[in-house]
Amino acid sequence: MKKASLLTYVLSIVVLLIFILPVIYIIFSAFKPSSELFSANPTFIPKDWTLENFTIALSKGNFSLYIFNTFLVAISSTIIAVIINTMAGYALSKFRFKGENVIMLLILSTIMLPLEVIMVPIFSVLRFFGLYNSLLALIIPPAATPTGIFLMRQYLLTIPDEVIQAARIDGASEWRIFWNIILPNAKPAIATLAIFSFMWRWNDYVWPLIAINSPKKYTLQLAIANFSGEFGIDYNSVIAMSALAMIPMLIVFLIFQRQFVQGTVDSGMKG
């Protein structure tokens, strides 16, 4: 194989620095004492490392509760997302039925209706169902995603029909087939969907903004946004929380990099 030219290396490294330095800078800043945060001559690396920003944020802003809420929402919504999107993907890949095309069209049309366009009526629907100001509103509705359905459908098409037929001949019920054959066989696609779903819910801002009112129900993103709101940014805690909010995602990414790349290629859209 040919080797890359020096120019390619230089360009690649410049781009690398553009992406990596800002992230490192904000993480470093989270460890700076106030005197350095608001210094007239800021340095890239903290001179005195301190955890005081984290303790301020956790004590003052109840950020441990927000972290708990965010984990609760992200994990439960992801479990539901995996189950219902695999179910839908299974139906669309292995069954033929009346109205199939209409249903496909319906699912596709939901892509064209982003949440941002329907946030006002969603608010009234949430109120109607008593879901307003409830974490359930952040768990259940976003779990259904067209991206998830298409991702699962594409993958399940590769499972041979014979496997399903054989189970049916053995007298297995449809549910049993789904739980014992489809779910275990779809593991790679499920991993991809689960990771994406977790990221979407972890990073989400618009759903919590519409559905949540009481600070006790805040998620991390909502809390960070509100803390940086109207009265000017409270940099100490906001920077510490921003660093904390992105670290879990970066770890998840480093572990599951392959799934992310594959998922982006397969779905090509976000939920």
248-267: which residues touch other proteins (CB under 8 A)?
249-250, 252-254, 257, 260-261, 264-265
How far apart are alpha carbons 253 and 233 in whole angstroms? 29
Return the residue of 54, 66, 90, 218 that touches other proteins, per CB under 8 A.
90
Contact 131, 137 (CB under 8 A): yes
Q: Of 58, 55, 79, 80, give the one whose Cα is nearest residue 67.
A: 58
Contact pattern from residue 100 through residue 119 relative to other proteins, giving x for each residue in contact according to CB under 8 A and a dash for the rest: ---x--xx-xx-xxx-xxxx
- For residue 166, state whether it binds other proteins (rule: CB under 8 A): no
How far apart are alpha carbons 129 and 137 in whole angstroms? 10
Residues 191-210 that bind other proteins (CB under 8 A): 199, 202-206, 209
Contact pattern from residue 35 through residue 54 relative to other proteins, giving x for each residue in contact according to CB under 8 A and a dash for the rest: ---xxxxx-x----------
- For residue 183, state whether it binds other proteins (rule: CB under 8 A): no
Return the residue of 136, 144, 172, 183 that touches other proteins, per CB under 8 A.
144
Phi, psi of 59 (to 5 degrees): -80, -50
Shortest Å distance, C-beta 255 to other proteins: 11
Contact 76, 139 (CB under 8 A): yes
Shortest Å distance, C-beta 56 to other proteins: 16
Is the four-CA dihedral 113, 79, 172, 154 of positive or negative sign? positive
Using the structure block, give the residue that is written with the tokens 């009346």: 98
Return the residue of 35, 64, 124, 180 that touches other proteins, per CB under 8 A.
124
Return the residue of 53, 221, 237, 259 that touches other proteins, per CB under 8 A.
221
- For residue 151, state whether it binds other proteins (rule: CB under 8 A): no
Using the structure block, give the residue that is written with the tokens 């809420």: 69
- For residue 95, state whether it binds other proteins (rule: CB under 8 A): yes
How far apart are alpha carbons 151 and 258 in whole angstroms? 15
- For residue 72, state whether it binds other proteins (rule: CB under 8 A): no
Return the residue of 57, 58, 74, 238 that touches other proteins, per CB under 8 A.
238
Q: Of 113, 123, 187, 177, give the one whose Cα is nearest residue 145.
A: 113
End-to-end CA distance of the chain: 38
In 65-188 the beta strands, taken as DSSP E runs, fall at none
Return the residue of 56, 71, 123, 172 that touches other proteins, per CB under 8 A.
123
Q: Return the number of the residue (190 or 245) whose C-beta is nearest other proteins.
A: 245
